Structure 1
Amino acid sequence: MKILYVSSLCSDKYFKNIFENSRVKPQQQAQKFHSLLSKGLIELTDDLYVLSRPPIQRSKHKIEHLKTKGNLKSGSCSITYNHLKVLNIVVLKQFLLFCTSFFYALKWGLKNRKQEKAIFFDPLNLSISVAAMLVAKILNVKSVAIVTDIPDFMKEYTFKKKSFINRATSKCYTGICNFLLHKYDYYILLTEQMNEVINFSKKPYIVMEGLVDSQMKNTMNLLDYKYNEKIVIYAGALYEKYGVKKLIDAFMKLKDSDVKLWLYGAGEMEDYVKKCEKEDYRIKYFGVVPNELIVKEQLKATLLVNPRPSYEDFTKYSFPSKNMEYMVSGTPILTTRLQGMPSEYNKYVYLIEDETVSGVKSALETILGKNRGELHEQGVKAKEFVISEKNNQVQASKIINFISA
């Protein structure tokens, strides 16, 4: 099967270039998710062509148009990345992306017109998805939506209020996204609840909460290599709505001087995090760093935390990628009982049952009071589960079987 993958996915080298040269750092979660899935798919397909709208912000950087090809499988199969040009002129940028996406998608479709093929979409990348969807309809190609978020629940967190133009643009984007979201042939969803709000026509779908790198099975999490101090890590968006303030406030109430809280990421809570860092020597803020560095630190930590409130409606329609990354590290995870998290995960994670500040404090005290061996054993069990059941090759195989049935 030939696959056209329409998203913001870049080659590893190209993404690193963007990350290092952009003042506004691109989201690493989306890159990692689509990269893992694409590398799983290439093991099962003839070849994979990535049509990429690179995650370049309107900031000063020197990123040139680049078309690269990387052999990611032994043999003749490979992933080809076509990174589209992104202008810094708002209207022209979207128009150019639409035109170039349509051209390359049509060229790919005509080249492979006699082959079994499918187009995989990240529907949130609107300009290139609309163009590729048009090609899919013209050439009668299977369209597969990889839905990682619901447009109506996407919130842009800023320090300033949006202007009228930004509000109007955002409303237009959401409206078009919602309209297009109902037009695909197949759906890959993060939670079962997503199906209720987007799949009105009852098209075929499967639930794939996330995926982990199959290569992590070769990365050992060894007790002897962990920090002597009790290191608690939160890595992700720093928003109060995600429970970050509650986590920090709960941590500061702990009396144990040997425990540390390390935070990675960016968001509206940055100033508060820095303020608390000055008030409590046990808190350390690292900002936005490359994901590979975070993964290395997770291996040496004592506990990884995701305090995202389970009572928020948006948790029905999301499965945090950080939970999968936490679990595959082999370090135990403390999380809330998220509405979109299947019950099969519960025995592999520690749960915050009371989501008040005092409840989070109590959960931290209980877990950090366990001996190192017990904590390590829980983390290893979680890793074994996701490596065997949720790795990118297993998940890609489920998808290929699903759309080929």
Structure 2
Amino acid sequence: MSMSKSPALLLGFTIPDAVARPIFAADPLPAVQTHNFAWSLAHALGSAHDRIYLLSTDPVQNYPLVPQKWFAARSFVENGIEGRTIAFANLMILKHLTRFISCLAALPQIRRWQIHSIYIHGVHSPFLLFGALLALFGYRVVPVLTDPPGIILPTDGKISTLLKRVDRKITRALIRRTTAIVALAPELARPFADTLPVLVVPGILNGRWVERIQSFGKARIQSPPGKRPVVLYAGGLVAAYGVDRLIDAATLLPDIDFLFYGKGNQVVRLENSAAPNISYRGFANSAQLAEAMRDASILINPRPSNADFAVQSFPSKLIEYLATGRTVLTTRIRSIPSDLANCFDYIDDETPAGIADAIQRALIKPESKHDVLAHIEALYGEQAVGAWLAALANDRTPRGSFS
């Protein structure tokens, strides 16, 4: 791999774990996958550039969903990477304004770091506006598109929903003013592929996640005799992700245990369920999840395949699921790349009965002896993605480009 010699900046949501934990505990829909991906991206960039710096904001929902109105700036060093967070007011509209002003205030620090390339995590308009301005002054600016702009969350009110629709148009215009694009799904990149270089990569396998998985030893190929099968779901516990259908499917399979981890609008239903095979395990840390996943029979993703955001995003937890070596059952979302397609079992009928049937079929199917973890690391490990990013930084067409 030819590493770019110029230092790079990751502008986004990469904060220390110790800072993230209390934030996630307070947030009804914590940005855990955003946090995990942020560090994977930072490590991949670290292997693509001779030095990487972080300029980050705390990934939180607006007050009062998160009961903190002001977040102060602070410096940190995490995993050997120097960074600082920016100050902002955690209030609607003011959040975007103060984050943009804080980016402008960070310009002297960016100059001291001697930055030439700036990667922007996500479709956050204050960051994209800052990036578009820097592009005018000759900086190389690369947005990393993880989701479509302006996703409406279950916690969004009418005003927030309206503002997000306006923001969606703004962010698309700003993306067109950047230098190149990294996208987690082809559909995210399609509107820009005619004018900008594009790298499509569905996710990055987090190195720390691999270490946690491997610390539990080799996964059992079969469950011990007499042990009930376990289906595990971890992530946003919201109806938009198909969790309501999965709960209904669980009631049809009383001889199979279902474990749910996370937060969302389906928690009340899970907590009030009378089904003895349904267990809500709350919000767990990575070590707890890794151990639970290695003990599960099936890891499941019931996300409806016909939802707009399912076409324009790839659930990063699917890569984490695969790394455990367990059977991974998912709906046929169109963002699944061809080089991972054979690693999954599929839900073809997304009704509760269809999900239940797919679970039963997956349980009787022989386990694959293919080393899925090695396959995923070779394709989407931090070093592999770093090589593609280095090619993009050096103005070469990287493997995995949009076509």
Superposition TM-score tier, normalisation by shorter sequence:
0.7 to 0.9
Q: Which amino acid aligns with 1:119?
A: I
Amino acid at match of 1:203: L
Q: Secondary structure at the match of 1:334?
A: strand
Question: Which consecutive unaligned segments of at least 5 residues does structure 2 have?
Answer: 1-5, 397-403
Counterpart of 2:187, as a letter, is Q
* CA positional deviation for 1:112: 5.2
Which position in structure 2 is the counterpart of 1:14? 19
- Given that 2:8 and 2:53 are in contact with CA atoms closer than 8 Å, whether structure 1 keeps it comes out as yes
SS of structure 1 residue aligned to 2:157: coil
SS at match of 1:395: helix
What is the CA distance between 1:30 and its match in structure 2? 0.4
Aligned mate of 1:82, from 71, 81, 84: 84
1:43-122 alignment to 2 at 5 Å?
A: 43-57=47-61, 58=63, 59-60=66-67, 65-70=73-78, 72=79, 78-104=80-106, 106-111=107-112, 117-122=116-121
Correspondence for 2:263:
266
Task: Confirm whether residue 251 of structure 1 aligns to residue 250 of structure 2.
Answer: yes
Alignment of 1:1-400 (within 5 A): 1-20=6-25, 22-24=26-28, 26-57=30-61, 58=63, 59-60=66-67, 65-70=73-78, 72=79, 78-104=80-106, 106-111=107-112, 117-138=116-137, 140-151=138-149, 154-158=151-155, 162-163=157-158, 165-197=159-191, 199=192, 201-215=194-208, 216=210, 218-219=214-215, 220-223=217-220, 228-256=227-255, 259-275=256-272, 277=273, 279-370=274-365, 374-375=366-367, 377=368, 381-400=371-390
Aligned 8 A contact 1:11 1:81 in 2: no
Point out the more displaced range, 129-138 or 216-225.
Answer: 216-225
Cα RMSD of the aligned pairs, angstroms, is 2.5
Moved more, 46-55 or 29-38: 46-55
The equivalent residue for 1:75 is: none
Q: Measured at CA, do residues 90 and 359 of structure 1 come closer, stay the same or move farther in structure 2, by a change above 3 Å?
A: closer
Mapped contact 1:327–1:383 kept (Cα < 8 A): yes
Q: Give the secondary structure class of the aligned counterpart of 2:339.
A: helix
Find the aligned partners of 1:347 and 1:195 in 2 and give their Cα distance: 24
Indicate the SS of the match to 1:80: strand
The structure whose residues are more often helix, as a share, is 1
TM-score by length of 1: 0.85
Task: In structure 1, give the amino acid aligned to 2:112.
Answer: K
Q: Tell me if structure 2 keeps the 8 A contact 1:310–1:338.
A: yes
- Deviation of residue 281 (structure 1)? 0.4
Counting matched residue pairs gives 380
**1:16 deviation in Å?**
2.7
Whole-angstrom distance in 1 between the partners of 2:186 and 2:162: 31
Q: Structure 2 counterpart of 1:85, which letter?
A: A
Q: Note the alpha carbon deviations across 1:253-311, whole angstroms, 9 max, x for none.
A: 1252xx20001122222222233x3x210100123222332122111111100111223
**Deviations, residues 161-203 of structure 1 (Å, cap 9, x unaligned):** 724x334432332232222122221111112222223x06421
CA–CA distance in 1 between the matches of 2:91 and 2:245?
A: 40
Q: Secondary structure at the match of 1:367?
A: helix
Report if the CA contact (8 A) 1:123-1:181 is conserved.
Answer: no
Change (3 A) 1:88 1:346: closer
Partner of 2:34: helix, strand, or coil? helix
Contact 1:306 1:323 in 2 (8 A): yes
Change (3 A) 1:112 1:8: closer
Query: Is this contact kept in 2: 1:119–1:143, CA < 8 A?
Result: yes
Identity %: 23
State the AA in 2 paired with 1:33. Answer: F
* Secondary structure, aligned partner of 1:309: coil
The 1-side partners of 2:122 and 2:316 are apart by 18
TM-score (structure 2 length as normaliser): 0.86
Deviation (angstroms), 1:365: 1.1
Instruction: After superposition, give the CA deviation of every residue in 1:129-163 in whole Å (9 maximum; x if it has no partner).
Output: 3224312322x0111110011115x12213xx724
The aligned amino acid for 2:24 is F
Deviations 1:42-68 (A, max 9, x none): 234222111111124423359754211
CA deviations 1:233-263 (Å, max 9, x no partner) are 011112223221222212211252xx20001
Mapped to 1, the partners of 2:268 and 2:333 lie a distance apart of 27
Amino acid at match of 2:288: L
1:91 deviates by 4.9
